A and B are shown apart, each in its own frame.
Chain A
């Protein structure tokens, strides 16, 4: 029983981390319908910029987070206005090719600039185990979970409670009607892309402080994030949380009771099952597009 509780805790922690790292993709892929293969690279850049801010600029962890948010938000805006905009409305394939190209470009620029070595991001608080009865967890993990949950609810509030959020939802439902109603859709697209990019980068820095940042982590992050978004349902924040937790707990239990060496199999098994039984995902906000 003690073992089960620890496995469950591990799974929930990793699940929140999965949900967090998939948030940016939920916006960009789920809402904007840009199949963003550079998602993992945005995440990676968040870790790398975080490393730069804490190591070279001497900032503390939280100032580093703010810097990452600003820098990567600006970066996302620029990417949308100068790259994504050129292929908008031409179907999904040009976007796929564009983001694959962008991901290759970003990885190799990072390799060129700072090399392949793993980088250490200074942590917000000193690390050490906390024992809650039979369960062990660390302070940094609890903090990361707290920040993660805040970000998830914050992003949800932006989409559903603000004017910008209403404009976003209107634009993605029907761009023509939205622009006729006076919404500046170009700005809305860029804002959404920038927000998605910021969320990816923030999760990248947060998790890099727990693990480590490295130029080549992007591929695996993209893969897991697509699993989470498809499990949860496109564009749904509750779905991303549920998808992340489901994947995290399933992996932890499979690793705990079967074998840790084959743990990646479980995510794909879940995706196949969900696509067969409930193709729109667990929490799809709409089954069909207008």
Chain B
């Protein structure tokens, strides 16, 4: 009898605790590479996201509940990212998904989000094809290579006086996309293509590639690479004695990139959607909070994680519940005031309205050379 009563009490307790726990918080799933060659950048996204969640919860959370961030490692690999999403949806029952970092991984989890009818927001993946798939559950709170190329092609061609450019990119769809978009827009302005080459993630020795590049004698070198690959490439450019102007996309304007690259970073240009030295009150406030928490200034990816989480949380608040359809509608009506401008979404889920900047690294800090708003694509 005693046993029976205890059993009943336990069962009742578990039954009562189960649903109560589920309603305790609003869960947002975050898939980023935490291991592998872009792990370092993935970690920045997570840091930005955690800061956003902390600030939201300090103000009372959304829907009167705290926001809970469930983080999974997608390794920038399509298969692992899909597994991570399945786990987040099936086990953690998240309301919204944020991720994945690499475009190829995001492309793989988009159909999964659609299958489970869960809104998916990415703050990073920039391959133009993603928003062309007519997936109504997908929102990109980031620039695309095409939009960046359009915003900066003229400035690059005119201000840097480039006659010929060599294009170097990491061998995935982001790198290839960046090279294609920039070479198309720069060619349209009469800039010759001297060379196009790709390298694999995690490559360490670029001397062969740079030998070809030096022989092609370009005025400018365009590079699409992340911190790890990009810093080694820029160092070896100096070691090979290549004098051309270097400009790139990826996380180039960060303190870590400059620290790793050393004086070889001097004078290189980077087209980035965010840099911490932008002088607006909203940005300075964000930089102060980020620096207080992590002892470093936020880079492109820290800001991306911060923005993606804020956009998501605000949409949940506007939706008035965790109903997926309502959140999706609310996401479409986003008017989010970010540190770097104001985010809105087109009907295809592509963000626009925020500012992108061209910076030059001088004396170890990124200086803003030009800034251009990212316009809605036609």
Check if B204 is an interface residue, CB within 8 A of chain A: yes
A138 touches B239 (CB 8 A): yes
Q: In chain B, residues 236-266, which have Cβ atoms closer than 8 Å to a Cβ of chain A?
A: 238-241, 256, 259-260, 262
- Using CB atoms, name the residue of chain A closest to B261: A120
A212 touches B232 (CB 8 A): yes
How far does the Cβ of B261 sit from chain A's closest Cβ, in whole Å? 9
Check if A6 is an interface residue, CB within 8 A of chain B: yes
Known: A118-B228, A129-B240. A264 touches B200 (CB 8 A): yes
Check if B337 is an interface residue, CB within 8 A of chain A: no
Residues of B within 8 A of A212 (CB): 228, 231-232, 260
A211 to B228, CA, bound (A): 10
Residues of B within 8 A of A11 (CB): 208
A129 touches B228 (CB 8 A): no
Q: In chain A, residues 181-222, which have Cβ atoms closer than 8 Å to a Cβ of chain B?
A: 207, 211-212, 214-217, 220
Per DSSP, are chain B's interface residues mostly helix, strand or loop, or mixed? helix
Check if A279 is an interface residue, CB within 8 A of chain B: no
Partner of B40 from the list A6, A116, A256 (CB cut-off 8 Å) is: A116
Check if B227 is an interface residue, CB within 8 A of chain A: yes
B209 touches A260 (CB 8 A): yes
Q: In chain B, residues 154-180, which have Cβ atoms closer than 8 Å to a Cβ of chain A?
A: 171
Check if B323 is an interface residue, CB within 8 A of chain A: no
A263 to B212, CA, bound (A): 14
B211 touches A116 (CB 8 A): no
Residues of A within 8 A of B43 (CB): 115-117
Check if B197 is an interface residue, CB within 8 A of chain A: yes
- For B, the interface residue count at a CB cutoff of 8 angstroms equals 35
Known: A116-B40, A212-B228. A136 touches B260 (CB 8 A): no
Partner of A261 from the list B199, B212, B256 (CB cut-off 8 Å) is: B199
A87 to B37, CA, bound (A): 32
Check if A20 is an interface residue, CB within 8 A of chain B: no
Q: Digitize A251-263: 1 where CB-to-B-CB distance is under 8 Å, 0 elsewhere.
A: 1100110011101
Q: In chain B, residues 190-216, which have Cβ atoms closer than 8 Å to a Cβ of chain A?
A: 197-200, 202, 204-205, 207-209, 211-212, 215
How far does the Cβ of A258 sit from chain B's closest Cβ, in whole Å? 11
- For A, the interface residue count at a CB cutoff of 8 angstroms equals 39
Known: A3-B215, A251-B208. A116 touches B39 (CB 8 A): yes
A107 touches B228 (CB 8 A): no
Check if A7 is an interface residue, CB within 8 A of chain B: yes
Partner of A10 from the list B39, B208, B227 (CB cut-off 8 Å) is: B208
Residues of A within 8 A of B280 (CB): none
B240 touches A116 (CB 8 A): no
- Using CB atoms, name the residue of chain B closest to A211: B204
Q: Digitize A6-40: 1 where CB-to-B-CB distance is under 8 Å, 0 elsewhere.
A: 11001101100100000000000000000000000
A207 to B204, CA, bound (A): 10
- Using CB atoms, name the residue of chain A closest to B257: A118
Check if B64 is an interface residue, CB within 8 A of chain A: no
Partner of B35 from the list A17, A116, A256 (CB cut-off 8 Å) is: A116
A220 touches B228 (CB 8 A): no
Residues of B within 8 A of A211 (CB): 204-205, 232
A216 touches B207 (CB 8 A): no
Check if A66 is an interface residue, CB within 8 A of chain B: no
A115 to B197, CA, bound (A): 31
A198 to B120, CA, bound (A): 47
Partner of A14 from the list B198, B205, B228, B262 (CB cut-off 8 Å) is: B205
A211 to B229, CA, bound (A): 10
Residues of A within 8 A of B363 (CB): none
Known: A116-B39, A129-B240, A129-B241. A256 touches B208 (CB 8 A): yes
Check if B377 is an interface residue, CB within 8 A of chain A: no
B39 touches A261 (CB 8 A): no
How far does the Cβ of B43 sit from chain A's closest Cβ, in whole Å? 6
How far does the Cβ of B31 sit from chain A's closest Cβ, in whole Å? 16
Check if B147 is an interface residue, CB within 8 A of chain A: no
How far does the Cβ of B45 sit from chain A's closest Cβ, in whole Å? 12
Residues of B within 8 A of A131 (CB): 241
Q: Digitize A111-126: 1 where CB-to-B-CB distance is under 8 Å, 0 elsewhere.
A: 1000111101000000
The 27 listed contacts between A and B (C-beta, < 8 Å) are: A3-B212, A7-B211, A13-B207, A117-B40, A117-B43, A117-B256, A120-B259, A120-B262, A127-B235, A129-B240, A129-B241, A136-B239, A136-B240, A211-B205, A212-B232, A215-B35, A216-B35, A216-B36, A216-B37, A252-B208, A256-B208, A256-B211, A256-B212, A259-B197, A260-B198, A261-B198, A261-B199
Question: Which residue numbers of A lie inside 8 Å of B, CB to CB?
Answer: 3, 6-7, 10-11, 13-14, 17, 107-108, 111, 115-118, 120, 127-129, 131, 136, 138, 207, 211-212, 214-217, 220, 251-252, 255-256, 259-261, 263-264
| 5 more A-B residue pairs beyond the given contacts A127-B235, A216-B35, A216-B36, with a C-beta to C-beta distance below 8 A | A118-B228, A118-B260, A129-B238, A129-B240, A214-B228
